[in-house]
């Protein structure tokens, strides 16, 4: 009995120190586990319809650097107005998945582990899939439909993550998104596993489209809200939206003059930008020669007609191009000063060109490529050029008659 007062403090101190050490170790382990996540991947979910019942199967995987995971568990509640639990299946050989839906508290619980103690759960790959039937024809499944989620990895509390289903539309044009440049939008053929029947884009710049893929341009730098309404073959309407930020492009421009013998052209770069700086200049002289200086002088080895082009690039990665048709044949001629009257100019659908016993018409794009040519009726007083299929931009025209060549330029703008 005399030793008891001495033993009790010793035991109490021993137990206290043991608890403290275990807590410290457990805290370190839990911090490690909490950095790992059990992922419920709605973005990789698959949809199916069997006997008029719609189903969703949600894959589950583990994001971790721990190569010693042997088991994982989770339990959660879900929106029973939208979903009804059906089954759980393993996607990895040797991994057993046991799920139970408790109708009393509406929790779905799962325990997954290997068939032997040596089994290691593979990482960053789909492990199991949870199958639910979807209540309602046009129901959309969202991350908010799953809540009160608890996850365990190797029996320790871990993190959880729900990856939201990606937007139904994609931007094919790489960033940055620049003013006065085409930006292309695309949508898949299916949404939530259902074939799409109708598309309606609103690009936020007063332009719309009913195509699965289309392009538009933005005149000014700003934030634009793009929306897409999709109607599936079973009559469901889904709306998606995304905001893009358009930054200002530089404005390429230049003046030029010929040397007295018309062999060399002297270029003066007059390009401007309101926000940012121009960091790159690229000149194409139309004869296979190029330059990257600001104000180049170029000598042509032969007489001819050329398209002189300047492309400038800003520090934010936006580009702008300006072209002028020039010629040193017989006399100085430039397409930017037109010998021909076009109307309407700019043109959206059709361009009318007055004729005066002209034999032939040629149309070149801003890169000097022939895009249209046709023999003309010499008795016709005008020619109708359909520009609706032309890309927006500047074009150059040559009208050939028995005596002279008339030149001019027009612009295509799709309003």
Domain ranges of the chain: 37-163, 169-247, 249-334, 335-415
In this predicted structure, which of 9-13, 94-98, 152-156, 398-402 has the lowest mean pLDDT?
9-13
Contact 309, 269 (CB under 8 A): no
Cα 93 to the center of its chain, rounded Å: 37
Q: What is the DSSP string of 242-292?
A: EEEEEEPPPB--EEEEE-TTSSEEEEEE--B-SSS-EEEEEEE-SSS-EE-
The predicted model scores a pTM of 0.61
Residue pLDDT, tens place only, 29-48: 445 556 799 999 999 999 99
Does 37-163 carry CATH code 2.60.40.680? yes
- Mean pLDDT of all residues in 128-154: 95
Cα 357 to the center of its chain, rounded Å: 51
Residue indicated by tokens 């909490």: 34
Q: Which CATH class is domain 249-334?
A: mainly beta
pLDDT at 261: 76
Q: What is the DSSP string of 79-103?
A: -TTTEEEEEEEE-STTEEEEEEEET
Q: Which CATH class is domain 169-247?
A: mainly beta
Q: In whole angstroms, what is the distance from residue 92 CA to residue 396 CA? A: 64
Residue indicated by tokens 């139904």: 168
Cα 251 to the center of its chain, rounded Å: 25
**pLDDT reading at 67 higher than 60:** yes
Q: In whole angstroms, what is the distance from residue 163 CA to residue 161 CA? A: 6
Percent of the chain with pLDDT over 90: 58
Contact 223, 206 (CB under 8 A): no
Measuring CA to CA, how many Å separate 354 from each of 301, 341, 357, 358, 400? 35, 7, 10, 10, 13
Q: Name the CATH architecture for the domain at 335-415.
A: Sandwich (2.60)
Joined together, the tokens standing for residue 78 give: 């879900």
């Amino acid at each position: 009995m005399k030793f008891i007062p001495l033993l009790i403090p010793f035991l109490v101190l021993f137990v206290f120190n043991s608890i403290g050490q275990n807590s410290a170790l457990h805290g370190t382990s839990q911090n490690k586990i909490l950095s790992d996540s059990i992922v419920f991947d709605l973005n990789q979910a698959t949809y199916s319809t069997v006997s008029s019942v719609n189903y969703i199967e949600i894959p589950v995987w583990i994001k971790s650097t721990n190569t010693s995971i042997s088991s994982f568990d989770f339990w959660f509640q879900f929106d029973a107005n939208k979903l009804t639990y059906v089954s759980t299946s393993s996607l990895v050989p040797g991994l057993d998945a046991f799920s139970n839906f408790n109708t009393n508290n509406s929790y779905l619980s799962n325990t997954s582990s290997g068939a032997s103690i040596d089994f290691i759960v593979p990482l960053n790959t789909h492990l199991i899939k949870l199958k639910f039937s979807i209540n309602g024809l046009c129901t959309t499944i969202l991350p908010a439909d799953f809540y009160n989620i608890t996850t365990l990895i190797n029996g320790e509390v871990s993190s959880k993550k729900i990856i939201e289903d990606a937007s139904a539309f994609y931007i094919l044009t790489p960033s940055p998104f620049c003013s006065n440049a085409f930006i292309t939008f695309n949508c898949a053929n299916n949404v939530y596993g259902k074939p799409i029947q109708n598309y309606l884009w609103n690009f936020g710049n007063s332009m719309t489209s009913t195509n699965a893929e289309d392009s538009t341009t933005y005149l000014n730098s700003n934030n634009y809200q793009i929306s897409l309404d999709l109607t599936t073959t079973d009559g469901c309407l889904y709306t998606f939206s995304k905001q893009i930020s358009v930054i200002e492009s530089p404005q390429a421009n230049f003046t030029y003059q010929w040397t007295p013998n018309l062999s060399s052209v002297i270029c003066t770069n007059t390009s401007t930008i309101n926000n940012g700086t121009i960091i790159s200049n690229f000149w194409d002289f139309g004869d296979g020669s190029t330059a990257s200086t600001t104000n180049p002088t170029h000598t042509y080895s032969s007489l001819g007609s050329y398209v002189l082009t300047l492309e400038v690039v800003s520090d934010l990665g936006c580009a702008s191009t300006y072209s002028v048709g020039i010629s040193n044949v017989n006399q100085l001629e430039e397409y930017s000063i037109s010998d021909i009257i076009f109307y309407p100019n700019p043109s959206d659908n059709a361009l009318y060109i007055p004729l005066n016993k002209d034999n032939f018409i040629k149309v070149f794009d801003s890169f000097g490529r022939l895009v249209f040519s046709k023999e003309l009726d010499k008795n016709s007083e005008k020619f109708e050029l359909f520009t609706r299929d032309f890309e927006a931009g500047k074009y150059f025209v040559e009208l050939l008659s028995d005596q002279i060549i008339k030149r001019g330029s027009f612009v295509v703008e799709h309003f």
